[in-house]
């Protein structure tokens, strides 16, 4: 999200979007994320968090690249819907993985995942080989 946020003014200028049109682009991202959050739990339950993480991780990186190529409102809106979907699915699967790691650790450590997320710090579960 930080990469997208930092590049937003440049993308807005490249696509020649007004503030109102940029708001529509951001709404498209939110729409995609909410839609993904609705189905993400079922996908994780059915396929496992580890499997669900792969696709959204690739999509997140791909859409960040695509933002640089989008020079129109429809193209940018499409990319942000896909970004929102990927972000929503990634969020659900990441949290499900963190819950499994907490269960394996045997004590509450969930808050540490969120506090250390920005730093890239592990809670000692890097060797946990859960199935999802």
pLDDT at 26: 92
pLDDT at 119: 54
pLDDT at 116: 52
pLDDT at 35: 95
Cα distances (angstroms) measured from residue 22 to each of 73, 88, 101, 131: 8, 20, 39, 40
pLDDT at 108: 84
pLDDT at 111: 77
Sign of CA dihedral 116, 121, 125, 129: positive
Smallest Cα–Cα separation from 22: which of 32, 11, 34? Answer: 11
pLDDT at 129: 43
Query: Which parts of the chain sit beneath pLDDT 50?
Result: 120-123, 126-132
pLDDT at 98: 86
């Amino acid at each position: 999200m930080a990469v997208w946020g930092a590049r937003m003014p440049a993308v807005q200028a490249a696509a020649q979007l007004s503030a109102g049109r940029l708001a529509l682009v951001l709404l498209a991202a939110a729409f995609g994320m909410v839609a993904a959050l609705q189905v993400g739990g079922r996908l994780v339950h059915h396929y496992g968090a580890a499997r669900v993480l792969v696709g959204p991780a690739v999509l997140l990186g791909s859409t960040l690249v695509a933002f640089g190529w989008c020079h129109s409102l429809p193209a940018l809106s499409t990319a942000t819907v896909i970004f929102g979907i990927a972000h929503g699915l990634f969020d659900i699967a990441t949290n499900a993985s963190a819950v499994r790691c907490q269960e394996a650790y045997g004590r509450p450590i969930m808050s540490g995942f969120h506090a250390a997320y920005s730093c890239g710090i592990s809670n000692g579960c890097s060797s946990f080989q859960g199935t999802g």
